[in-house]
Amino acid sequence: MTPALRTTPDPEQPGTTPPPVALTIATSDPSGGAGIQADLKTFSALGAYGTAVLVALTAQNTRGVTGIQVIPTAFIAEQLDTLFADVSVDAVKIGMLANAAVIRTVADALVRLRPPCIVLDPVMVAASGDRLLEPDAVADLRDRLLPLVDLVTPNIPEAATLLARPPAQSVDEAEEQARDLRRMGARRVLLKGGHRLDSDESTDVYVDAERTRLFNAPRIRTRHTHGTGCTLSSAIAALRPQRPGWPEAIGAAKAYLTEAIAAADTLAVGTGNGPVHHFYHWWGNRDAAS
């Protein structure tokens, strides 16, 4: 799928174009570090207009998840149909979907609505270790949703779960697993190695039909990494309509996330694994903000 670029001029501001519209289909995080809240912050930080369809609510903070309440699937479908009936969506990011029924509902909507650009973050387990996707839903995620999206962004444990094999222990093994995910039906794969591959760099492996490419960034030593996966996938969705290709969007998104992680210690949110700093550029520059 080729993302639609926003080229309609604004009659009140000649020479300008409206921002791309990005949609997140995901779950709420009351602590604001992950899920819908992180996605909307990321969209805004990177120049996209954010919209959202909620599929579930969580009771969680920076220390863990204590409960999940799934929204009825009929209402999820109604949210999507109502939004697309009025708003031209340029990019979709899909996050935590909770169970098989929600996955099937979202997959059916994607076939029906045909958004031009879809990024899937196959969220299964929170950074705290709490399970966010029911075990019987993995097959639906792999078989029904994966072939419909333009890019899937699993971390190492998620890729291993999708492939039903042990987690990759090296960049070479991560490359092999990324290629195997493509053979399973994914158009493009970005396998994230940031929190498992032991090195001084965070290395993500990108594979498409034509190339394999490594995206490296310095490993930031901090415990405040809540929502990194949500932030990276939503950053890619926000930037793809603004960049000439997927590698360019991924590179810019990873650079943004690296800076957001580097600034995370300046926040004081919660007593556990805190969020990254989505607005590090603006909040760290008071003159620019004013």
The pLDDT assigned to 199 comes to: 66
Q: What is the mean pLDDT of residues 205-226?
A: 88
- Tokens describing residue 156: 């190492």
The pLDDT assigned to 132 comes to: 65
Distances (CA, A) of 168 to 12, 99, 102, 171, 289: 53, 26, 29, 8, 43
Query: When comparing pLDDT for 138 and 8, which is higher?
Result: 138
Whether the per-residue pLDDT at 58 is higher than 90: the answer is yes
The pLDDT assigned to 137 comes to: 87
| Cβ within 8 Å of residue 197, ≥6 positions away | 156, 168, 169, 170, 171, 174, 203
Q: What is the pTM of this model?
A: 0.90
Distances (CA, A) of 231 to 33, 69, 184: 9, 22, 25
String of b and e for 90-125 (b: at least 16 CB within 10 Å)?
bbbbbbbbbbbbbbbbbbebbeeeebbbbbbbbbbb
The pLDDT assigned to 236 comes to: 98
Whether the per-residue pLDDT at 86 is higher than 60: the answer is yes
The pLDDT assigned to 288 comes to: 47
- Its sign, for the CA torsion 5, 11, 15, 16, is negative
Residues 17-37 have pLDDT tens digits of 899 999 999 999 999 999 999
The pLDDT assigned to 202 comes to: 83
Element (H, E) at 58: strand 49-61
The pLDDT assigned to 197 comes to: 55
3-state SS class at 53: strand
Residues 230-274 have pLDDT tens digits of 999 999 999 999 999 999 999 999 999 999 999 888 888 988 888
The pLDDT assigned to 14 comes to: 52
String of b and e for 133-159 (b: at least 16 CB within 10 Å)?
bbeebbebbbebbbebbbbbbbbbebb
Look-up of token digits 């594979």: 207
Give the pairing of strands 201-207 and 212-218.
Answer: antiparallel
User: In CATH, what is the architecture of 21-278?
Assistant: 3-Layer(aba) Sandwich (3.40)
Nearest to 191 by CA among 249, 43, 182, 93: 182
Q: In the sheet that 64-70 helps form, which strands lie side by side, from edge to edge?
A: 64-70, 49-61, 21-28, 91-94, 118-120, 151-152, 189-192, 201-207, 212-218
The pLDDT assigned to 1 comes to: 40
Residues 64-82 have pLDDT tens digits of 889 999 999 999 999 999 9
Residues 179-215 have pLDDT tens digits of 999 999 999 999 998 656 556 778 999 999 999 999 9
The pLDDT assigned to 264 comes to: 87
The pLDDT assigned to 2 comes to: 39
- Tokens describing residue 101: 């029924």
Whether the per-residue pLDDT at 219 is higher than 90: the answer is no
Please list the alpha-helical segments (H only) found in 149-263. 156-163, 171-183, 228-239, 246-262
The pLDDT assigned to 195 comes to: 57
The pLDDT assigned to 289 comes to: 46
The pLDDT assigned to 105 comes to: 97
**Considering the chain, what percentage of its residues have pLDDT values greater than 70?**
88
Q: What is the mean pLDDT of residues 111-139?
A: 82
Nearest to 98 by CA among 144, 51, 147, 131: 131
Task: List active site positions.
Answer: 192, 225, 227-230
Give the C-alpha separation, 243 to 227, whole Å: 24
The pLDDT assigned to 185 comes to: 92
